[in-house]
Amino acid sequence: MSLPFPASPYLSGNFAPILMECDAHDLPVTGVLPRALHGTLYRNGPNPQFAPRDPYYHWFIGDGMVHAFHIEDGRVRYRNRWVRTNKFKRERAAGRALFGSWGNPATTDASVAGEENGVANTNIVWHAGRLLALEEADLPVELDAGNLSTRGDCTFGGKLSGAMTAHPKTDPVTGEMVFFAYAADGRFTPGIRYGVVNGEGRLTRLEHFEAPFSSMIHDFMVTSRHVLFPVLPLTGSMARATRGEPAYSWEPQLGAHIGIMPHHGDAAQIRWFRGEACYVFHVMNAWEDGSRILADVMQYDAPPLFNPNASGPGSRARLCRWTFDLDAGTDTFQRTWLDDMPGEFPRIDDRFATLPYRHGYFASRQQEEALPGSYDTLVHLDLGTGRRSVHALPQGDAISEPVFVPRTPDGPEGDGWLLATVFRGNEQRSDLVVYEAGDISRGPIAAAHLSHRVPFGFHGNWRPAQ
Ligand SMILES: [Fe+2]
């Protein structure tokens, strides 16, 4: 008999886990799903199997559960499965949690000391014929794209032995998947690994360097020629973890450090740019313009979820453009706010990743009192015209990160649909919704109805039908 989950904001409401895995053959649909929409939307998020061992629970550490919506001929088939990580399997066999938060040795059961504790809960990407569940502190986990069964850790033929970011970038021209990992030399170390997987799925490069300090680096920036590593002062410390304190802490006095490396260069060529402290979980896009590198990021004054003292507007992210001039002879960079609407989960038409782009999409939260991770408004920014479009959801509903799907493989940027899950608060269940990406203010053109909740999660991606 497993124990009840304790009272915690991130174990309540639609943050609470669902306890079942299921299949739904043909979901009821309202509206009309475009016939050209043919493929699968995968979404990933934390869904803890058992009540945590530590007295506090952090949203980021729940076991990954993948939700797949297969769309074909106007119909939707659904399946959800936990990722069978080592942690999941060991705890299922024991009937209770065995691992401490963030691998904390002080709260981990002796029977699993030193074992892999990845949760594979953050993103799910399709690259070179592999479906990978990603979480930034551990190896990718490969799933079967059809039945979601777990195939096991993906080491790229034994070449990768440590973590990979949950936010690799795929170059739409070369098909290369570029990634990094922080804490590359062990938990809370300043080592950073950089790697490239080519379009055929072979790991072709690994580089290693030291950041100025150990920090949580959730996402990074990639242009057609450079890679940018944002080292921001949300620092990690094993000493804090073993004292029973939160391992990650906000230390703004350390400032922001952005390392810029040529794609095909090596660590010795990294140039560090410096600025005032801020935090970024997510990058919308980055690209080159002559000697300049531009990056649009969702910037916080201070990180939410890690800093109990953070509150007010500074604890909410807004879209900010960072400009670095490689020829200006300076180690500073410019920041310009692009929009005053708070937001998270920025996405683009991924065919324009690493390239100049025009259309950005994100989730926004109008209600100040709502927890970070819960969003009630969908936003589209046309950065060409400066026009902002929004769709505010009905009271009590909440929307996930939007995923863009092009109408045709080579159509213009932004011509397609946005797919998201929506939690229907009054009905305690979720929908898959489809918007016309160029006209979100009219609301979804179609919705497929689940009878259960998809708990608030992180990221998803589309895999077009083969
Ligand atoms: Fe993320």
Q: How far is the CA of 26 from the centre of ligand 1 (A)?
A: 30
Query: What does the alpha-carbon distance between residue 8 and residue 229 come to, in Å, rounded to a whole number?
Result: 33
Please give the annotated binding residues, written as ranges: 167, 218, 282, 459
Report, as an integer, the average pLDDT of 219-244: 93
Binding residues for Fe cation: 167, 218, 282, 459
Any idea which residue has 């009840």 for tokens? 4
Neighbours of 309 (CB within 10 A): 7
CA torsion 452→457→461→463, rounded to 10°?
-30
Q: Residue 310 above 90 pLDDT?
A: no
> 101 C-alpha to center of ligand 1: Å?
19
Q: Which amino acid is at 440?
A: I
Distance of CA 11 to the CA centre of its chain: 19
Give bridge partners of residue 300 from the DSSP assignment: 279
Name the token pair of 351: 């065919």
Residue 122 CA, ligand 1 centroid: distance in Å: 6
User: How much is the pLDDT for 244?
Assistant: 75
Task: State the Cα torsion 246-252-255-261 to the nearest 10°.
Answer: 30
Q: Give one DSSP letter per residue of 124-173, joined into a string.
A: EEEETTEEEEE-TTS--EEE-TTT--EEEE--TTTT--S---S--EE-TT
* Sign, CA torsion 150/154/158/162: negative
- The C-alpha angle with vertex 398 and arms to 395 and 404, in degrees rounded to 5, equals 130
44 CB-side CA count, 13 A: 29
* Predicted confidence (pLDDT) per residue in 108-158, tens digit: 999 999 999 999 999 999 999 999 999 999 999 999 999 999 999 999 999
**43 alpha carbon to ligand 1 midpoint, in Å?**
12
Per-residue CA distances from 310 to 19, 279, 298, 301 (Å): 33, 12, 16, 9
* pLDDT at position 54: 82
Residue 311 pLDDT > 70: no
What is the spatial distance between Cα 437 and Cα 359, in angstroms, rounded to a whole number? 9
Question: Starting from the edge strand earliest in sequence, which strands make up the sheet with 359-364, in order?
Answer: 344-348, 359-364, 377-382, 387-392
Q: What is the pLDDT of residue 293?
A: 98
Mean pLDDT score across all residues of the chain:
94
- Provide the whole-model pTM: 0.96
Question: What SS3 state is found at 300?
Answer: strand
Tokens of 169: 């970038």
What is the whole-number distance in angstroms between the Cα of residue 282 and the centre of ligand 1?
6
- Higher per-residue confidence, 288 vs 308: 288
pLDDT classification of 339: cutoffs 50, 70, 90: very high
Q: How far is the CA of 406 from the centre of ligand 1 (A)?
A: 22
- How far apart are the CA of 298 and the centre of ligand 1, in A? 11
